[in-house]
Structures are given as C-alpha cells and as structure tokens.
C-alpha cells in the first residue's frame, strides 16, 4: 500500500472494487462456464469511509451488485448494500452461497482492529443479507480468502501485521478466531532492490505488513505475504483444529525492499507466481506441493523495457485457459500480460492502458472473454475484450462509474 505523500507523481489510487459474477439461471448445475445467454451478477467492493486508501477519502458506499451482459460486456447496477467500513476485498465460499468482506478500517467496536463481515446470497436475485461482523484481529485487513473446505476464512491485516483464522459455522456466520499469528522480523530496505531506475516507490518497510493470505488447492498449506519483511510465510494447516504451524522452511525470502504483495498458483499446482509491489517484478517458482516448498526459477519485470520512474504493482491472476498471466501497474496505469511456457516460465507479451487511475484490482468474467479494471482514483471500472489466443486486451469503450472501486470477482 504505497503512501501517496511519498510520490512526486500525483497519479491514481486504485480502489478495491469487487465484482462477483453468478449466473441467474441454472446456478446449481455444475459447469465450467455459463451459456452465452445467461446473465451474470457481479459484486464490486469499494472504499467507503472518510479514511480511505493511502490517506484519501473513500467515495464508494459499500458493496455494489451489477448485472453483466455476456454479449456486450455491459455492467448494469441492480443494487447497493451499504457498508461504511471500506469493504475493499470480497471472497465467496466454495459453493458460492455466501460472501465475505474484509472491512479495511483501523477501529472496530472501540478496539484497534478492522473487521470481517459474512453475507448470505439470495440465489434468486443475488441480494446480500448481512449475517454477522467480527474483528479481523488486526488493523487494516487488506485481503481475505476462504479455505477449500469452506470451513474457515483467512484474513491478512496490513496495518496490524497479523493474520487470523476465522471459523465458519453451518449458517455461514463467522466465529471467534481459531488462530492468530503476528509477523515479526527485520523490515527490508526503504528502496527496492529490483525497482526501475529513478524510482520513488518507497512504502511499507517501516514494520511488518501482512498483505495477502491464501491456501494452496489442497488446503494443506497456507501462505501469506508480508510486504514489509519481504517474505512469504508458509504454514501447515490443520483443518480439524484451524491451527497454523510453521512449515520447513517457514518462509520464502525476496530481495530487500521489493515487497511481495500478492501471489497466485497455477491450476496445475506445480507453479507459484509472486508479485512484488515496489520491485515491479514477478518471481516464478516451482512448487513442491507435497512438502510446501518453493524454488525460484525466474524473475521478470512487469514494466516495458526502458521504463524509468515510480510504479507500484497491485494484482496478479492467471486467466481462464491457463495460457496467460496478467498483472496491474499503478502509476504506469497498465495491465501487462505474459505467456506461460510449458515449464512455467513467463514471456512478456504486451500491455494495455487502463484508461483510468491506479488499477488496484482486475478480473475476468468466468468465460475469460472480458477483463475489468478497477481504477481506484478515477472512480470507474473499464472493460476490455480478451483475445484468448494472444492474451491481448482491446478496450470496449465501456466505463462503469463506481466510487473508489477496489475489487471485482466473478
């Protein structure tokens, strides 16, 4: 989370807007992608409090519900579920009957903590019903995910430097934490080792900052990024107790100051890709899924050759089809894509302007035909058609107005 005051360039701050798409018809059927005639529902999470991201004011009003037209790529607002506590990250349970939001604030019920909310989804219309809200066990929760079993939510608290495991009961409500861990260690350098020449991408290395947490597909290992410590911690997870224990080795280390922010696993379970916020790099790893160990095999820049100056990366994802990996660059305001080789190595393939300020999050619809960029500081989501053969993005001309959007999920 870059500090805007440290930047000489006054460019965009991307919001965590979340679009979650669910089919209106035939939802219970098991299928890889809905038919072209189906409408999809999309949830967008926003910054919504006066204390928004990087010291700016949040202009969203909570969680927005949109209908997505698969033919045209148009998003049409259907509803709004007010939440004034920055519901800036959203995630579904595996059956998509419930939605969970990380509410990125620093106080909850008078304590120094953010919160996590649980919602039930009405499958007939996509409306949300708030079930309960609990402490995130640390200030500024920046990310959450749901365990493959659907029994636990994992949350990473950026400002607090902690992670927590929250159990989910049969109704979908959240319980008291089964485990809380506090990151410790020596912060990395103020300036990233791998950053472009001329960078002033300086933030987050004054103390630990847990930024992202997710399990592998088996659910046996849970990994979380600490941007301030330049590490990804690796935990063994006991599903019966909800407890985390350090793996051997207990972490993956990065060049000082590079700031691991988010990561993604390839669906084959053999490759892991980590995105560094200040270093503007992707590091590719071979992943040993039996032992929970990562071996670095490649580091590649997220920026075009010759780039100089300041950039902060934000999001990383592998598109449907598993041929291309995408990342977002803030200040450069682009989404870059890489082809994934047969050995998991990446080759830079292109970039596209986001036509908005500070792309905090982006996502594709389930078919992979459209990509949506949540441009935080310009209060809009922009839509692109995806060339499934080349990975290239083509702007559709469509803008969707949303105040400080933060994440979009389908």
Is the pLDDT reported for residue 18 higher than 90? Answer: no
Predicted confidence at residue 10, as pLDDT, reads 35
Is the pLDDT reported for residue 330 higher than 60? Answer: yes
Give the E-state strand segments of 70-114 in sequence order.
75-82, 87-92, 98-103
Assess if residue 294 is contained within a domain: yes
* Averaged pLDDT of the chain: 91
Cβ pair 348, 369 in contact under 8 A: no
Is the pLDDT reported for residue 344 higher than 80? Answer: yes
Q: How confident is the model at residue 341 (pLDDT cuts 50, 70, 90)?
A: very high
Over the stretch 132-185, which tens digit does the pLDDT of each residue have? 999 999 999 999 999 999 999 999 999 999 999 999 999 999 999 999 999 999
Over the stretch 36-71, which tens digit does the pLDDT of each residue have? 446 799 999 999 998 777 767 899 999 999 999 999
Predicted confidence at residue 33, as pLDDT, reads 43
Predicted confidence at residue 333, as pLDDT, reads 98
Predicted confidence at residue 38, as pLDDT, reads 61
Assess if residue 71 is contained within a domain: yes
Predicted confidence at residue 22, as pLDDT, reads 44
Among 54-58, 210-214, 248-252, 380-384, the range scoring the smallest mean pLDDT is 54-58
Assess if residue 51 is contained within a domain: yes
CA distance 195 to 176: 40
CA distance 127 to 82: 12
Is the pLDDT reported for residue 273 higher than 60? Answer: yes
Among 26-30, 34-38, 113-117, the range scoring the smallest mean pLDDT is 26-30
Assess if residue 353 is contained within a domain: yes
Looking at the 3D structure of the chain, how many domains does it have? 1
Assign residue 331 a region (left: φ > 0; alpha: ψ between -120 and 50; beta: otherwise): left
Look up the CATH number of the domain holding residue 127: 2.130.10.10
Over the stretch 346-373, which tens digit does the pLDDT of each residue have? 999 999 999 999 999 999 999 999 999 9
pTM of the model: 0.91
Assess if residue 355 is contained within a domain: yes
308's CB contacts (< 8 A; 6+ apart) are 196, 197, 198, 199
Assess if residue 243 is contained within a domain: no
Cβ pair 159, 151 in contact under 8 A: no
Q: Beta strand 210-215 with 324-330: parallel, antiparallel or unpaired?
A: unpaired
* Closest C-alpha to 235, from 160, 285, 180: 180
Predicted confidence at residue 187, as pLDDT, reads 97
Better pLDDT: 79 or 13: 79
Predicted confidence at residue 203, as pLDDT, reads 78
Is the pLDDT reported for residue 95 higher than 70? Answer: yes
Domain interval for residue 80: 16-136+180-200+262-409
Assess if residue 282 is contained within a domain: yes
Cβ pair 381, 373 in contact under 8 A: yes
Q: Provide the sign of the torsion angle of the four alpha carbons 386, 387, 392, 396, taken in this order.
A: negative
* Inter-CA distances, 246 with 236, 249, 292, 343, Å: 6, 8, 11, 29
Assess if residue 174 is contained within a domain: no
Q: What is the mean pLDDT of residues 114-124?
A: 97
Is the pLDDT reported for residue 29 higher than 60? Answer: no
Q: What is the mean pLDDT of residues 286-306?
A: 97
Is the pLDDT reported for residue 82 higher than 60? Answer: yes
Predicted confidence at residue 15, as pLDDT, reads 34
Is the pLDDT reported for residue 24 higher than 90? Answer: no
Sheet with 346-353, strands from edge to edge, namely 312-318, 324-330, 334-340, 346-353
């Amino acid at each position: 989370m870059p500090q805007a005051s440290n930047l000489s360039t006054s460019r965009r701050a991307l919001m965590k807007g979340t679009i979650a798409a669910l089919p209106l018809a035939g939802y219970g059927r098991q299928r890889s992608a809905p038919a072209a005639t189906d409408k999809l529902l999309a949830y967008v999470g926003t910054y919504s409090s006066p204390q928004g991201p990087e010291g700016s004011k949040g202009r969203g009003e909570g969680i927005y519900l949109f209908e997505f037209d698969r033919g045209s790529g148009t998003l049409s607002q259907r509803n709004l579920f007010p939440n004034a506590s920055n519901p800036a990250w959203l995630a579904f349970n595996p059956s998509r009957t419930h939605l969970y939001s990380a509410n990125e604030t620093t106080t909850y019920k008078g304590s120094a903590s953010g919160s996590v909310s649980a919602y039930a989804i009405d499958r007939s219309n996509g409306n949300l019903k708030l079930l309960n809200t609990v402490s995130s066990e640390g200030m500024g929760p920046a990310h959450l995910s749901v365990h493959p079993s659907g029994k636990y939510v994992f949350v990473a608290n950026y400002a607090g430097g902690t992670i927590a495991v929250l159990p989910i009961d049969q109704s979908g409500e959240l319980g008291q934490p089964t485990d809380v861990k506090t990151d410790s260690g020596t912060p990395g350098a103020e300036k990233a080792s791998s950053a472009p020449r001329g960078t002033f991408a300086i933030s987050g290395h004054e103390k630990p900052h847990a930024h992202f947490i997710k399990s592998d597909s088996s659910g046996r290992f849970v990994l979380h990024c600490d941007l301030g410590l330049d590490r990804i911690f690796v935990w063994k997870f006991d599903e019966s107790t909800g407890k985390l224990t350090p793996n051997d080795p207990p972490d993956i280390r990065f060049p000082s100051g590079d700031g691991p922010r988010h990561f993604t696993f390839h669906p084959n379970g053999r490759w892991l890709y980590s995105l560094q916020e200040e270093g503007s790099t992707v590091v590719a790893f071979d992943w040993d899924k039996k032992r929970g160990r990562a071996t670095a095999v490649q580091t590649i820049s997220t920026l075009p050759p010759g780039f100089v100056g300041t950039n902060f990366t934000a999001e990383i994802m592998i598109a449907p089809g598993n041929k291309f990996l995408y990342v977002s660059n803030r200040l450069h305001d682009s989404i870059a894509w890489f082809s994934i080789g047969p050995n998991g190595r990446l080759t830079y393939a292109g970039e596209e302007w986001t036509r908005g300020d500070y792309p905090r999050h982006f996502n594709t619809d389930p078919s992979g035909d459209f990509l949506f960029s949540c441009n935080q500081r310009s209060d809009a989501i922009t839509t692109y058609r995806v060339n499934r053969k080349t990975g290239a993005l083509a702007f559709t001309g469509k803008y969707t107005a949303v105040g400080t959007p933060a994440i979009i999920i389908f």
